[in-house]
Amino acid sequence: ALKKKLLQLKQKPEENCRAFVSRLNNLYDGIERKEEKLDHNKTVVEDQLLSKVKKMRDTTKIKILIKGSYQK
């Protein structure tokens, strides 16, 4: 459900940039909260992989911001 919301996320014409970024951050925070519940007993390797995934998400987040803000 969260992935579908991320793919459909676009800035609304009446919405300012700050509100759009806030909505995007809320979705990503929801994803991170779900991961934290699952990752209580992670190893060093798992921690490194999680770090890489978070960097990839940041890149994706930037792309969504750019795509969503230019489609007014």
How confident is the model at residue 18, as a pLDDT?
83
* CA 72/CA 70 separation, integer angstroms: 6
Q: What is the pLDDT of residues 13-50, one digit of tens each?
A: 887 888 888 888 888 777 766 655 555 666 777 777 77
**Please, what is the Cα angle at 65 between 28 and 10, to 5 degrees?**
90
Q: Percent helix, strand and coil across the chain, each rounded to 5? A: 80, 0, 20
* CA 24/CA 38 separation, integer angstroms: 22
* CA 8/CA 4 separation, integer angstroms: 6
pLDDT of residue 8 exceeding 70:
yes
What mean pLDDT do residues 39-67 have?
73
